[in-house]
């Protein structure tokens, strides 16, 4: 079945559940009924995999009862009933049970899918310290002498070297390990990941002690990050014996070091947590990380020893737009306030320290900056001010120039002048209209000859060019460095004139800062009182101003004569920054970017609007503006979202075509 555009399965996601059933010690029939009940819930939710705790069919805390034939035989019968009941369920069930083979008892993870057992993984590392005495009851999987076992009349792969490959879903490769396995220096899941497993699952019991929950989270996060994989974790919950221990039913889902879901701890009833895992994101990351591939080569013998169990997975039907995972509508700006503040603090200081180094290394004590009263030049200005403070230089070394043109509004001009005054920089106003008129006359442009209102691209760029020419010559004259102001969003969309201030400078502190982050940086500067209240009030006024290049005069009452709106021309920055992030950071196909945007922004923009602006971005990014990025000035990389520096994160030909991206968008987005 081919999933609908609105299904996560159409875009490289699979749904995972971690289940914590309520158990009874040494009561396999009851435990299996609870397991099956949660498995059915997971199936109703369209899950591809459902993970259960260690030894969940028998309970973990049986101790020497594991050596009782009655318990082992009852557990085996319960497992058989679960296998039969799984026939019509959507997920691969990963359940735990004690199983006896060749006279040895193993603590096992059993992978069950639609009426059959795909394989059985015995626990490798048996803890035998403090409260744990597993070697008293169990044999380690490394000591198994068989690679297949007979169970319920079938020959089944057996060993700690198994991964399960759903051949019809690229990247959906499962591995199981059990509790202590991940607490070791080299967990079995490490080699499984190197062999291609992208979803690592840990069936755990894990009694709770003070502080242990945070350590579990650290283990799962770091293992998922090191292995560039998803990591599912289940711990035993209500019903286990409390003779000497307690249990908190901790369930976790991580993806490449990011938490997707966590259960409530110490719940009195059963629980199930769910998240959609992005297999394509994991594949993209592994493809990019040369160190991951190098490690595969270093351990090629261990990787080759992993056995791949292939099967075909039946994709479930899911409701429209049912994406279950954290999805930031502003991917460059964390939604969590504490995390956002830390993010802004780091970004601001990276900008400051980058500029400090550049001034120190050049020996140039002065900065020239064009101040428009807009967002970008404002951010560059306050970074420059703090840089001078850190270097012990007077802010008067910042030479700020506001250069009104034919369409400069009174409001932006007033804000620019007031901001420079409030910051204590050297402020100058230069009217560029005379020099622009001379240029327009020199090139025989109608506006220069007789003032006819031909507001074409030449009219606009003459103003941008005159400003830049002034800034560079002022820098020469004043032994100064021209500080760039253009941001990452403008460079991605090509919304910058080649060779002028948005694209060219001696150093650009905003080079890898998207427009949406600049807005939040200014809000953070206000809230954290980096400057006095007068500066804060001006920053808020600038934030409240319409984003505009102010190059074409505003003509009230004339159609098309309103204030120039950047976002009406190239799309809303909040939406375009979303497209930029997922296209450049992960290389996702346009239809997936559109789907994610629909999930994040569907309450504000319908799919047709998203498709329209995504098409604008794709054409401008891939076909018309790379030559501008290839000549970008130096500037510090700010975040993991990447930069577009031709020396760093983005190296691309200037004369490529956008055809394949636009075709994919048109053919796959309804």
Q: Catalytic annotation on 123?
A: yes
DSSP at 279: H
Q: Which residues contact 189 (CB under 8 A, 6 or more apart)?
A: 175, 177, 181, 182, 197, 200, 202, 223, 227, 229, 231
- Please state whether beta strands 148-151 and 154-157 pair in parallel, antiparallel, or not at all (unpaired): antiparallel
* Residue of 17, 108, 179, 344 marked catalytic: 179
Give the integer Cα–Cα distance in Å for 9 and 469. Answer: 53
DSSP at 331: T
Q: Burial of 298 by CB count in 10 Å (0-12 exposed, 13-18 middle, 19+ buried)?
A: exposed
Whose tokens are 């795909």? That residue is: 118
DSSP at 632: P
H-state helical runs in 443-510: 446-450, 457-477, 488-493
Contact 592, 12 (CB under 8 A): yes
H-state helical runs in 392-529: 410-423, 433-442, 446-450, 457-477, 488-493, 515-527
* Residue of 17, 54, 255, 436 marked catalytic: 54
Residue 588 φ then ψ, to 5°: -70, 150
Give the integer Cα–Cα distance in Å for 117 and 111. Answer: 6
Q: Catalytic annotation on 220?
A: no
* Residue of 19, 123, 227, 490 marked catalytic: 123
Q: Catalytic annotation on 666?
A: no
Quote the tokens at residue 643: 């930069």
Give the integer Cα–Cα distance in Å for 626 and 130. Answer: 61
Contact 179, 123 (CB under 8 A): yes
Residue 3, number of CB atoms within 10 A of its CB: 16
Quote the tokens at residue 468: 């830049």
Contact 508, 632 (CB under 8 A): yes
Quote the tokens at residue 95: 């359940």
Give the integer Cα–Cα distance in Å for 192 and 164. Answer: 10
If we measure between CA atoms, which residue out of 134, 90, 98, 92 comes closest to residue 112?
Answer: 92
Give the integer Cα–Cα distance in Å for 4 and 9. Answer: 8
Give the integer Cα–Cα distance in Å for 378 and 419. Answer: 8
Strand ranges (E), 21-159: 49-51, 92-101, 104-113, 116-122, 148-151, 154-157
Query: Could you list the active site residues?
Result: 54, 123, 179
């Amino acid at each position: 079945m081919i999933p609908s555009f609105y299904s996560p399965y159409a875009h490289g996601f699979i749904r995972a559940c971690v289940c914590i059933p309520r158990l009874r010690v040494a009561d396999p029939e009851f435990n299996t009924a609870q397991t099956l009940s949660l498995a059915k819930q997971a199936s109703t939710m369209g899950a591809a995999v459902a993970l259960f705790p260690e030894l969940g069919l028998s309970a973990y805390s049986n101790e020497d009862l594991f050596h009782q034939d009655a318990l082992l035989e009852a557990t085996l019968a319960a497992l058989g009933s679960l296998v039969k009941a799984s026939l019509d369920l959507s997920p691969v069930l990963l359940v735990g049970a004690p199983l006896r083979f060749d006279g040895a008892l193993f603590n096992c993870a059993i992978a069950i899918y639609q009426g059959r057992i795909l394989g059985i993984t015995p626990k490798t590392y048996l803890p035998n310290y403090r409260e744990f005495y597993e070697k008293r009851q169990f044999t380690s999987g490394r000591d198994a002498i068989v690679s297949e076992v007979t169970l319920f009349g079938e020959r089944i792969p057996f060993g700690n070297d198994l991964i399960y490959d759903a051949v019809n879903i690229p990247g959906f490769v499962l591995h199981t390990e059990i509790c202590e396995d991940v607490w070791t220096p080299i967990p079995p899941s490490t080699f499984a990941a190197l062999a291609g497993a992208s979803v690592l699952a840990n069936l755990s019991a894990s009694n709770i002690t003070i502080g242990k929950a945070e350590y579990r989270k650290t283990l799962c996060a770091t293992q998922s990050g090191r292995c560039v994989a998803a990591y599912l974790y289940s711990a035993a919950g209500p019903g286990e014996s409390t003779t000497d221990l307690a249990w908190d039913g901790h369930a976790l889902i991580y993806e490449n070091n990011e938490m997707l879901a966590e259960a409530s701890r110490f719940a009195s009833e059963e629980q199930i947590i769910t998240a959609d895992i992005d297999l394509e994101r994991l594949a993209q990351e592994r493809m990019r990380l040369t160190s991951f591939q190098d490690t595969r080569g270093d351990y090629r013998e261990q990787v080759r020893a992993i056995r791949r169990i292939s099967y075909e997975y039946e994709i479930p039907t899911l409701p429209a737009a049912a994406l279950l995972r954290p999805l930031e509508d502003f991917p460059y700006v964390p939604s969590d306030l504490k995390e956002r503040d830390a993010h802004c603090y780091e970004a601001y200081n990276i900008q400051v320290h980058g500029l400090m180094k550049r001034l120190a290394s050049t020996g140039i004590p002065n900065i020239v900056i064009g101040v428009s009263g807009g967002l970008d030049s404002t951010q560059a200005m306050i970074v420059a001010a703090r840089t001078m403070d850190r270097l012990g230089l007077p802010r008067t070394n910042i030479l700020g120039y506001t250069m009104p043109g034919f369409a400069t509004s009174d409001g932006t001009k007033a804000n620019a002048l007031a901001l420079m005054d409030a910051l204590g920089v050297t402020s100058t106003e230069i009217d560029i209209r005379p020099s622009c008129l001379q240029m327009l006359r020199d090139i025989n442009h109608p506006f220069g000859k007789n003032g006819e209102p031909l507001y074409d691209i030449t009219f606009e760029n003459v103003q941008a060019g005159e400003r830049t020419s002034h800034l560079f010559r002022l820098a020469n004259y004043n032994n100064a460095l021209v500080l760039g102001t253009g941001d990452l969003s403008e460079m991605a969309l090509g919304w910058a004139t080649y060779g002028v201030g948005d694209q060219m400078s001696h150093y650009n502190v905003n080079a890898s800062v998207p427009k949406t982050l600049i807005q939040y940086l200014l809000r953070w500067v206000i809230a954290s009182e980096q400057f006095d209240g007068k500066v804060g009030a001006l920053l808020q006024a600038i934030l409240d101003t319409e984003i505009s290049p102010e190059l074409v005069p505003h003509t009230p009452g004339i159609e098309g004569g309103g204030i120039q709106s950047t976002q009406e021309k190239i799309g809303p920055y909040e939406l375009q920054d979303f497209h930029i992030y997922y296209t450049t950071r992960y290389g996702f196909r346009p239809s997936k970017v559109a789907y994610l945007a629909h999930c994040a922004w569907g309450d504000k923009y319908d799919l047709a609007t998203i498709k329209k602006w995504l098409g604008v971005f794709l054409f401008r990014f891939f076909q018309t503006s790379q030559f501008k990025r290839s000549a970008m000035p130096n500037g510090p990389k700010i975040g993991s979202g990447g930069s577009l520096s031709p020396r760093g994160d983005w190296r691309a030909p200037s004369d490529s075509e956008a055809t394949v991206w636009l075709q994919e968008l048109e053919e796959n987005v309804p």
